[in-house]
């Protein structure tokens, strides 16, 4: 165990970086840093967030050297952890990912359906480059990756780096949901011990145990059925997220076995969602007008007044705490339980062993040790196998430059289904993603 650690945040200009910095300051005793590096390939995004970081750390974590850089050699040399959160193509491309499918009557979403497919084909190239750049400079660093679509990124990185066991793909939505369930019954999220299974943005909670091993799932379900469902951090959420959480009740009414991840609504109610999502003002517009503006203007303000003391920077504690807590579990070999994305290898015994599944794992110095789920029943098996076939074909389309596989992937996706629709959307996405995607032949 070292005394002090070096962490690089890749995508240092991300809207989530200030929250992450705050979390690193709050946990400075548990996770002492020698250097914190913010790396981004866009100097204009990096400058305000980097300026904020320097001031925040000067005030709250002064022993740490903060380095703000666009130089890979400075960023990746001898680091212990890489916290990765990039967005290839930025919000402008996200807007197209969402608007193109919607124009053709299909769900338009950042990570699900055709939008997630388009974003996936963009993310893979950059993520492979990042892993190679890190590995040539920091052989043993842990790469903790939030970059979306995490499902596609996880399958692609497993394909490209099959023996690299220090890449861990993660998502904060299970913990966001856990916080919201806990709030419903007046508890703290760390009082709930969940059992979760599925693919990323495509999973279910089976149990929510309390400290006495009593399953609180029936009580929580009943609360949702009676009173609806809201995010725990409702006050900081935009309207579209409130709507998204509310639909958990609709899913539960129709499919009462388990508590679904919010993202399942795009697959279970694809026609309804495609009709009701705003075609002209999507989540990308909401983020550009909301979170992005708030974060960057707050950082510029902090730089102007040279103090972050009264700053209430936009943050999602579940998001920033999860990645910092994972690093701590690895450093201290705590074997604490997290819900993370890992190779299936029999965890869910009756689906493909090479799927990248999202399940509980005990995380220690050797990484995640997933807990067994066993057999799942026909409805869940059918849904997951279809979705995994979509993920696999998307990644194969990327590596083989295959138009045929891309079309198969989109046709298999439950948000599209129809082959004519799949082709129309694919052909338009190809034109808009010119320069970002491999050439599909």
Site of interaction with ligand NAD (CB under 6 A): 10-11, 13-16, 40-42, 45, 85-88, 90-91, 126, 146-148, 150, 171-173, 319
Residue 231 binds which of ligand NAD, Mn ion, ligand G6P, none (CB < 5-8 A, kind-dependent): none
Residue 41 binds which of ligand NAD, ligand G6P, Mn ion, none (CB < 5-8 A, kind-dependent): ligand NAD
Radius of gyration of the chain (CA): 21
Specify the DSSP class assigned to residue 30.
T
Binding track over 295-334 against Mn ion, x by CB under 5 A: ----------------------------------------
Q: Least CB distance from residue 48 to ligand NAD, whole Å?
A: 10
Marked catalytic residue, from 263, 267, 390, 398: 263
Alpha helices in 27-79 (DSSP H): 43-60, 72-76
Cβ nearer to ligand G6P, comparing 283 with 392: 283
What residues from 288 to 307 belong to the interface with ligand G6P (CB under 6 A)?
Answer: none
Cβ nearer to ligand G6P, comparing 80 with 391: 391
User: Computed from CA positions of residues 407, 411, 412, 415, in that sequence, does the dihedral angle turn out positive or negative?
Assistant: positive
| Cα distances (Å, whole numbers) of residue 41 to 44, 177, 284, 299, 316 | 9, 32, 21, 19, 24
173 lines the binding site for Mn ion (CB under 5 A): yes
Query: Helix, strand or coil for residue 358?
Result: strand
What residues from 171 to 200 belong to the interface with ligand G6P (CB under 6 A)?
Answer: 171-173, 176
Q: Quick check: 197 and 358 in contact, CB under 8 A? A: yes
Query: Which tokens in the block code for residue 248?
Result: 């958990």
172 is catalytic: yes
Q: Least CB distance from residue 349 to ligand NAD, whole Å?
A: 26
Task: Name the helix (H) or strand (E) containing 193.
Answer: strand 193-199
Among 145, 148, 411, 433, binds ligand G6P (CB under 6 A): 148
Residue 126 binds which of Mn ion, ligand G6P, ligand NAD, none (CB < 5-8 A, kind-dependent): ligand NAD
The total of other beta-carbon atoms located within 10 Å of residue 125's CB is 15
Pairing between strand 167-169 and 142-145? parallel
Q: Quick check: 377 and 348 in contact, CB under 8 A? A: no
What residues from 93 to 112 belong to the interface with ligand G6P (CB under 6 A)?
Answer: 110-111
Query: Which tokens in the block code for residue 120?
Result: 């996936």
436 is catalytic: no
| Cα distances (Å, whole numbers) of residue 59 to 7, 19, 221 | 19, 15, 44
Q: Least CB distance from residue 293 to ligand NAD, whole Å?
A: 11
Query: Helix, strand or coil for residue 348?
Result: strand
The packing angle between helices 293-305 and 43-60, to 10°, is: 50
Cβ nearer to ligand G6P, comparing 33 with 277: 277
Residue 282's nearest CA partner among 94, 156, 125 is 94
What residues from 36 to 95 belong to the interface with ligand G6P (CB under 6 A)?
Answer: none
Cα separation, 215 vs 192, in Å, equals 9
Q: Least CB distance from residue 259 to ligand G6P, whole Å?
A: 16
Taking CB under 5 A as the binding criterion, the range among 69-77, 91-99, 169-177, 410-418 that sits at the site for Mn ion is 169-177
Residue 85 binds which of ligand G6P, ligand NAD, Mn ion, none (CB < 5-8 A, kind-dependent): ligand NAD
Among 122, 166, 221, 283, binds ligand G6P (CB under 6 A): 283
Cβ nearer to ligand G6P, comparing 64 with 284: 284
Query: Which tokens in the block code for residue 419?
Result: 């082959």
Cα separation, 143 vs 429, in Å, equals 30
Residue 283 binds which of ligand NAD, ligand G6P, Mn ion, none (CB < 5-8 A, kind-dependent): ligand G6P
Cα separation, 248 vs 252, in Å, equals 6
Interaction site with Mn ion (CB under 5 A): 171, 173
Interaction site with ligand G6P (CB under 6 A): 110-111, 148, 171-173, 176, 283, 287
Task: Kindly list the catalytic residues.
Answer: 172, 263
């Amino acid at each position: 165990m070292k005394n002090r650690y070096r962490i690089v945040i890749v995508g240092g200009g991300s809207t989530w970086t200030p929250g992450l910095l705050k979390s690193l300051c709050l946990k400075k005793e548990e996770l002492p840093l020698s250097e914190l590096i913010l790396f981004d390939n866009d100097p204009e995004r990096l400058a305000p967030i980097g300026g904020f970081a320097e001031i925040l750390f000067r005030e709250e974590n002064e022993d740490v050297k903060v380095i703000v850089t666009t130089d890979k050699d400075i960023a990746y040399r001898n680091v212990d952890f890489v916290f990765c959160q990039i967005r290839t193509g930025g919000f402008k491309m996200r807007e197209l990912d969402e608007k193109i499918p919607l124009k053709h009557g299909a769900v338009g979403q950042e990570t699900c359906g055709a939008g997630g497919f388009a974003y996936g084909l963009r993310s893979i190239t950059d993520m492979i480059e990042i892993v190679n750049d890190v590995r040539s400079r920091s052989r043993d660093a842990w790469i903790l990756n939030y970059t979306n679509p995490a499902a596609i990124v996880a399958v692609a990185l497993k394909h490209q780096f099959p023996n690299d066991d220090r890449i861990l793909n993660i998502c904060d939505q299970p913990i966001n949901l856990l916080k919201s369930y806990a709030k419903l019954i007046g508890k703290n999220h760390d009082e709930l011990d969940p059992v979760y299974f599925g693919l990323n943005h495509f999973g279910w909670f089976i149990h929510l145990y309390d400290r006495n091993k009593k399953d609180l799932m029936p009580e929580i379900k009943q609360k949702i059925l009676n009173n609806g469902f809201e995010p725990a951090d409702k006050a900081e959420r935009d309207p579209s997220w409130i709507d998204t959480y509310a639909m958990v009740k609709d899913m539960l009414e129709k499919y009462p076995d388990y508590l679904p991840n919010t993202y399942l609504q795009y697959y279970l109610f694809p026609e309804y969602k495609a009709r009701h999502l705003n075609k002209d003002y999507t989540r990308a517009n909401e983020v550009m007008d909301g979170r992005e503006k708030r974060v960057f203007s707050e950082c510029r303000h902090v730089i102007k007044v040279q103090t972050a003391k009264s700053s209430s920077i936009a943050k999602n504690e579940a998001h920033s705490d999860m990645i910092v807590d994972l690093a701590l579990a690895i450093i201290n070999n705590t074997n604490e339980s997290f819900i993370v994305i890992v190779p299936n290898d029999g965890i869910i015994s009756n689906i493909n062993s090479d799927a990248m599944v999202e399940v509980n794992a005990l995380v220690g110095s050797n990484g995640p040790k997933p807990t067994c789920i066993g057999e799942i029943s026909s409805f869940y098996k059918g849904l997951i196998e279809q979705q995994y076939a979509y993920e696999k074909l998307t990644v194969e389309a990327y590596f083989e430059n295959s138009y045929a596989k891309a079309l198969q992937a989109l046709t298999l996706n439950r948000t599209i289904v129809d082959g004519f629709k799949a082709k129309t959307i694919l052909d338009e996405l190809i034109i808009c993603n010119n320069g970002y995607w491999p050439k599909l032949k």
